[in-house]
Amino acid sequence: MESSIIKYFKNLSDRQIEQFSALEGLYREWNEKINVISRKDIDNLYVHHVLHSLAIAKIITFTPGSKIFDVGTGGGFPGIPLAIMFPDCDFFLIDRTGKKIKVATDIAAQIGLENVRLAQCDASEVKEQFDFAVSRAAMGMSDLVRLCRKNIAKHQQNAIPNGVIALKGGELQHEIAPFKKIAVVYNLGDFFDEEYFITKRGVFVPVVNR
């Protein structure tokens, strides 16, 4: 239920609450046709997928006008929950799997998200510039940063430098070793009480393009 969202984000508008509330029915309906979220996990949609995506909103409050690139969005995570949370920012969601983009496109349209674009493609094909690239366990940090470096804008407009924010689980030491001097690791259990988040992390790697 979207009450798990309201618990941690107190200043949602009626419109945002309505959009978050609509997600469960829409994802359930699509899941009957296409296995976008594991059948066992659909009952945990709000905690395991929506709230998990919104951990990025605990790491940073995007400045209005910011552009965010969601790499490997799958069925729309973290991009769709973040686009609901930040209606004054622009989101570009990509995935290589067409059926997943089809689901995310339909759900974004059905809840009236006007700040989202979606495409079936690989990150290497995207030339556009963004303030941040975000991802939810789509690939390793080194690959993600390497792929998205060209897409990170030089102009800064947020409280933290432009860069890459990824949601991760499990042991991260090896994965963040190449960035150990600059990476910031957030324990999601510091943001949310649910047991699910004890082993979950957010990793921010600033990207400076001269």
Coil, strand, or helix at residue 174? Answer: helix
Token pair listed for 202? 């957010």
**Residue 19 CB coordination number (10 Å):** 24
CB 145 within 8 A of CB 115: no
Residue ranges of the annotated binding site for S-adenosyl-L-methionine are: 72, 77, 95-97, 136
Residue ranges of the annotated binding site are: 72, 77, 95-97, 136
Closest of 135, 141, 198 to residue 170, by C-alpha: 198
In terms of DSSP bridges, do strands 200-206 and 90-95 run parallel, antiparallel, or are they unpaired? unpaired
In terms of DSSP bridges, do strands 200-206 and 163-169 run parallel, antiparallel, or are they unpaired? antiparallel
Q: In the 8-state DSSP scheme, what is residue 93?
A: E
**CA 57 to CA 53: how far, in whole Å?**
8
